[in-house]
Amino acid sequence: MSGEKHITYSYFPGCTLRNKAVELDRCARVSAEALGFTLEEVPDWQCCGGTYPLAKDEVATKLSSVRALASARDAGHSLVTICSACHNVIKQVNNDMRTDDSIVQKVNNYLKEDKISYHGETDVLHYLEVLRDVVGWDTVKAKVKKPLTGKKIGAYYGCLLLRPGKVMQMDDPENPKILEDFIRAVGAEPVTYSLRNECCGAYTIFEDKTIPAERSKKILADAEEHGADMLVTACPLCRYNLIKNKGDSKLNVVYFTELLAEAIC
């Protein structure tokens, strides 16, 4: 961070980072402090629901996101997310609150009792975007104490980080490089493979376990064929599906914040 100004962000951890993915959260926080920013947890945040409500007339399912967005605005901060699902849901709801008058009116009617009126004022940033756009890859590189030299790492974006591209605006949805740049910054070598931005099967474990099993096998085999030693992800459900369906694949799947903390802390 060139100006050496310490920035505080509002932070939405989400349900999984408080439970099954505590390392994703813990490593993010310690790395943030090492890099000169603080993640201040949104008070009384509520679960985002895991998937963005695609139906145009859904209102109640968007309220938890709006409450977090309004809380960040009132604190004067941008809102940072880490989990791919939280990021996708909150960023898309924020877009609705910027562009869809009907949703804005209905949501704000609901939230009157909480004295909240929100119109999309908050900027939503994924932790990776903070690294790229605020901290800068060069600063990350300069902070690395233990470079992950020699490791060949495949970036697994999955579906939620990048799409829909016109709303998420994180990177080119078909030819992304933010995770590859991250991998380079921590001293490892990125491995590009074609299924890096295709879905792992997600919540269909509740419908038919063979769907994530087949998806995961294909993704792991593709990454392995291209020479990856491990995969890195921001999504707890991707990690779960890939690990559960690993079969005889040798690839480990880790959170990007674990690599970051390993390299800089």
Task: Give me the residues that bind other proteins (CB under 8 A), please.
Answer: 14-16, 19-21, 47, 49-57, 61, 83, 85, 159-160, 163-165, 173-174, 198-199, 201-208, 210-211, 214-215, 235-237, 239-240, 243-244
CB of 207 to other proteins, least distance (A): 5
Nearer to other proteins, 190 or 201 (CB): 201
Cα torsion through 166, 167, 169, 172, rounded to 10: -40
CB of 187 to other proteins, least distance (A): 29
Nearer to other proteins, 38 or 252 (CB): 252
Nearer to other proteins, 190 or 236 (CB): 236
- Which tokens go with 69? 């967005």
- Which tokens go with 96? 């609705």
Instruction: Report the distance separating Cα 94 and Cα 234, nearest Å.
Output: 20
CB of 224 to other proteins, least distance (A): 19
Instruction: Report the distance separating Cα 181 and Cα 208, nearest Å.
Output: 35
Query: Is 168 in contact with 234 (CB distance < 8 Å)?
Result: no
- Which tokens go with 40? 């201040």
CB of 262 to other proteins, least distance (A): 21
Nearer to other proteins, 121 or 214 (CB): 214
Query: Is 158 in contact with 197 (CB distance < 8 Å)?
Result: yes
Nearer to other proteins, 49 or 154 (CB): 49
Q: Which residue has the tokens 């100006």?
A: 3
Q: Given CA atoms 247, 250, 255, 258 in this order, what sign does their dihedral have?
A: positive
Nearer to other proteins, 144 or 211 (CB): 211
What is the enclosing helix (H) or strand (E) of 87?
Answer: helix 84-99
Nearer to other proteins, 147 or 173 (CB): 173
What is the enclosing helix (H) or strand (E) of 254?
Answer: strand 252-255
Query: Is 94 in contact with 124 (CB distance < 8 Å)?
Result: yes
CB of 222 to other proteins, least distance (A): 12
CB of 232 to other proteins, least distance (A): 17
Identity of residue 118: Y
CB of 204 to other proteins, least distance (A): 6
- Which tokens go with 146? 């233990």
Nearest to 264 by CA among 71, 96, 135, 97: 135
